[in-house]
Structure 1
Amino acid sequence: MTYTAPPYRGLTWDHPRGHDALAASAGGLVHWDVQPLEGFESHPIDALCARYDLVVLDHPHLGEALATGCLRPLDDLFAPRELARWDADSIGPTMRSYAMDGRQWALPLDAATQVAATRTDLTGPPPATWDEVRALARRAPVALSLAGPHAFLTFASVAVALGEEPAAGPDELVGDDTGLAALDLMAALDAHAPPETRTLNPIGLLELMAGTDRLAHCPLVYGYVTYAGRLAFTDAPTAGPGGRRGSTLGGTGIALSARCVPSPELLTHVRWLMSPEAQGDFLPRHSGQPSSRAAWTSPETVAADFYRHTAATCEQAWVRPRHAGYIGFQTAASAVVRAALAGESGHREALARMRALYRASRTPKERHP
């Protein structure tokens, strides 16, 4: 579709999954710039919103965004029945992850969570439990996703599989038994991992697995439909048969900055991006990864096996904290996990350090001038 209204500026991330469908549907209404995945994960949201009208963001940035007042609440722009319909149509907690303080701040353009990726020609059937992952690591190259914030996200997902959601309370990160068991499991697997994998982000891990035989399995990595066919994507491991598939929700939402003055044409375009037509057909045909549950469960969706074999994990995914200090905590805690896996600290010491970092992240910044 083509629009005659002046163009808005939007920012998304530099990958076909984040860019292609938005650019192909913009019709002159939105000019989309891109930033690297690492910028998407860590760049201050208020600085981005000062320059752009539309921002594709991750839900943990909400606390920071609300603290700086840089987003426009969407319930001022869309009717309650529209928001309720999108909530009902979205897989797992994707829509709810962008709601905070009683307002809706973004819409789930894209759904993703950590799932298992496997070269089945090298491994046979993918492992379904963490014990099976351990066994596989003794005979094939297996790696965890540890670069950037992903070391903590992997830790959190293992904790969920072990039966405890991190950060269930305002001051406590995770209990001793769960935290130490998660670190012990990660250390056992990391000891066998190809060294080159420790610095690779999810795209790098999937590229290595798809293009070489140096990595056969990653039990927790954010799923990318663009690798479907080359790799087998399946639900995240459980601690045992019938257990919860521990995984940390990712994906992206589309938000309007406080500087944006949306025209009727822009709101119509955002509605279309959330429509069954866009979610079920247009986005998948343009490398997108829709948030619609119908798209994830329909046999007609492009790369339907990718969605069908990972939908249960997405439905059960853990939603990260979204307070203003969370992004910094996630970065610092990941460094602590990596140091523990490298043997630079004991696991009990690492757990204590992560707890202290979490408590500090919850402390209002005005108390520390």
Structure 2
Amino acid sequence: MTYAGLTWDHPRGHDALAASAGDLVHWDVQPLEGFESHPIAELCDRYDLVVLDHPHLGEAVGADCLRPLDDLFTPQELARWATDSIGPTMRSYAMDGRQWALPLDAATQVAATRTDLAGEAPTTWDEVHDLAYRAPVALALAGPHAFLTFASVAVALGEEPATDPDELISPETGLAVLDLMAAVDALAPPETRTLNPIGLLELMARTDRLAHCPLVYGYVTYADRLVFTDAPSVAPGGRPGSTLGGTGLALSARCTPSAALLDHVRWLMSPAAQRDFLPRHSGQPSARAAWADPAIVAADFYRRTTATCELAWVRPRHAGYIGFQTAASAAVRAALAGEADHSEALDRMRVLYRASRTPEERRA
């Protein structure tokens, strides 16, 4: 039997899965944005395996379209993968006491630099702002990334967003974040404001029009052209503010997995696959041991960004979160463009967050 799988259309998301699947899984691809434009239940109706991002869990669990992995793997296996996975990657796919996906791929927002244009990568937000006067610096603001950048700066300032189900962030921190973002964005090349992370990295790698991005999802496939380092903190030695990304491997409710399929999933999470096969096929492993292995392909990429991945913030995963993330990003962009003052934009984001949660979730 051949199973149908859906992943994202980048070598990091596709190549290792396709190369290892043989006749067991046929992998289709779609853009990352496709996972937001197509309801997860619709995708799970068509595919047995789905590579997804953790904020989609609430929608998926609410639609009852995923198979809980604790029904398929032993507690010992799940505990081992949780211990072995870097940062919060494994727990980001746990919800309501069940494990819904495995962290096949680990990524978080880190800094990317053309050191020939910018010199040594800045480590604090003050240094980022100073660099922006001397070299082209840009924030990631397209699509959902405006809010993700907002959240990461808040973490660096000392407040994780959404720790209260009824409150996104304190007014003091929220305004400080928007002020900091506006100061950096005011100096950014205008063409960067519509680029997603891959577009920003492409611009940086192929032209001299962008020298530094302080928060962009790390792609090991660019490590031969760009220097990746930990996300900036507010003060030297402080927490690098970053929002966890990466992808997880889930089985849809329609899937009746064979022993061969479950063994293949086990192999994808194994040290042999994580430390050797995935990196050799453009993958970005989730195993902490792979990130610490000096022999791994592009070892400097992992070594220089490990601290950020270990401390990354995990986004909310309630069913209304994706819609909130989209609307909140528009509010951030409006504030930076001068279309709304910062207090007005922040108030809108806080209202949107409360509206994204059901009364039951807000009381939880």
What TM-score does the superposition give when structure 1 sets the normalisation length? 0.97
2:268 — aligned with what?
273
How do residues 28-107 of structure 1 correspond to structure 2 at under 5 angstroms?
28-107=23-102
How do residues 189-228 of structure 1 correspond to structure 2 at under 5 angstroms?
189-228=184-223
Alpha-carbon offset, residue 238 of structure 1: 0.2
How do residues 244-259 of structure 1 correspond to structure 2 at under 5 angstroms?
244-259=239-254
AA matched with 1:273: L
AA matched with 1:126: A
Matches of 1:340 and 1:36, distance apart in 2: 28
Alpha-carbon offset, residue 229 of structure 1: 1.7
Give CA-to-partner distance per residue, 1:290-332, whole Å, 9 cap, x none.
0000000110111000000000000000000000000000000
AA matched with 2:97: G
Alpha-carbon offset, residue 49 of structure 1: 0.4
2:2 to 7, 30, 48: 7
What TM-score does the superposition give when structure 2 sets the normalisation length? 0.98
How many residues align structurally? 361
- The residue matched to 2:33 in structure 1 has which SS? helix
AA matched with 1:161: A
1:176 to 147, 171, 180: 171
2:296 — aligned with what?
301
Find out whether 1:344 has 2:339 as its counterpart: yes
Matches of 2:98 and 2:31, distance apart in 1: 29
1:3 — aligned with what?
none
Structure 1: unaligned runs, 5 residues or longer = 1-5
AA matched with 2:278: L
AA matched with 1:177: E
1:186 — aligned with what?
181
Give CA-to-partner distance per residue, 1:129-184, whole Å, 9 cap, x none.
00000000011000000000000000000000000000010111011111001000
2:12 — aligned with what?
17
AA matched with 1:350: A
Q: Is the contact between residue 115 and residue 310 of structure 1 (CA under 8 Å) also seen in structure 2?
A: yes
Matches of 1:312 and 1:331, distance apart in 2: 28
Find out whether 1:162 has 2:153 as its counterpart: no
Matches of 1:114 and 1:42, distance apart in 2: 23
AA matched with 1:29: L
1:323 — aligned with what?
318
Find out whether 1:363 has 2:353 as its counterpart: no
Pair 1:365–1:96, CA change in 2 (3 A)? closer
- The residue matched to 1:204 in structure 2 has which SS? helix
How do residues 80-159 of structure 1 correspond to structure 2 at under 5 angstroms?
80-159=75-154
Alpha-carbon offset, residue 365 of structure 1: 10
Pair 1:296–1:41, CA change in 2 (3 A)? farther
Alpha-carbon offset, residue 40 of structure 1: 2.9
Matches of 1:356 and 1:138, distance apart in 2: 35
AA matched with 2:247: T
